[in-house]
């Protein structure tokens, strides 16, 4: 029974939502959506705290099932917004298997949002731009340039704004 409580407590105490509850008593108890409602209608924000806290692997990330166990970890910063959340990117070769919020992260202290935790597929998407590109105006096509040219271009544009 105490094992079942970890995911419920993570939801309540760590995330501050009450999406999960224990339904039933004794051997008949199970984790269920709170407020006697369908899970999709619950307060769940898909942060993954319950998955991270689950000691029995009843709640498991799909990426681990599809890609297998990670081989090494890289500490990184989430690329979705400007908050700067710290994550451990668990890797298998060069591919991200899962993202785990870093408990020592100054911005997130081990918490995460749904994008930071689960939407890491962009990192290896075939359409991802991996080289710097610039354009003079919004009507011009993008041009691939070196990193030095991109930094010089950005600096000159910032200086132009500063001069105004």
Domain range list for the chain: 2-53, 62-124, 133-163
Specify the CATH number of the domain 2-53: 3.30.70.20
Cα(136)–Cα(139) distance, integer angstroms: 8
Q: Can you tell me which residue has the tokens 């890289």?
A: 74
**Tokens coding 161:** 């704004």
CATH class of the domain defined by 62-124: mainly beta
pTM above 0.75, yes or no: no
Residues 93-146 pLDDT 10s:
989 999 999 999 999 998 888 899 998 888 888 898 999 999 999 999 999 999
Helix extents (H) in the chain: 2-9, 49-53, 62-67, 114-118, 147-163
């Amino acid at each position: 029974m105490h094992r079942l409580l970890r995911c419920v407590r993570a939801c309540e105490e760590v995330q501050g939502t009450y999406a999960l509850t224990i339904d039933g008593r004794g051997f008949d108890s199970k984790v269920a959506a709170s407020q006697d409602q369908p899970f999709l209608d619950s307060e769940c924000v898909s942060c993954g705290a319950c998955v991270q806290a689950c000691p029995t692997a009843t709640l498991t990330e799909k990426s681990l099932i599809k890609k297998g166990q990670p081989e090494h970890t890289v500490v990184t910063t989430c690329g979705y917004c400007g908050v700067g959340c710290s994550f451990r990117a668990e890797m298998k070769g060069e591919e991200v298997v899962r993202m785990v919020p870093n408990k020592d992260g100054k911005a997130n202290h081990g918490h995460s949002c749904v994008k930071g935790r689960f939407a890491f597929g962009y990192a290896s998407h075939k359409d991802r731009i991996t080289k710097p590109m610039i354009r003079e105006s919004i009507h011009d096509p993008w041009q691939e340039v070196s990193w030095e040219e991109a930094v010089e271009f950005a600096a000159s544009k910032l200086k132009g704004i500063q001069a105004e």
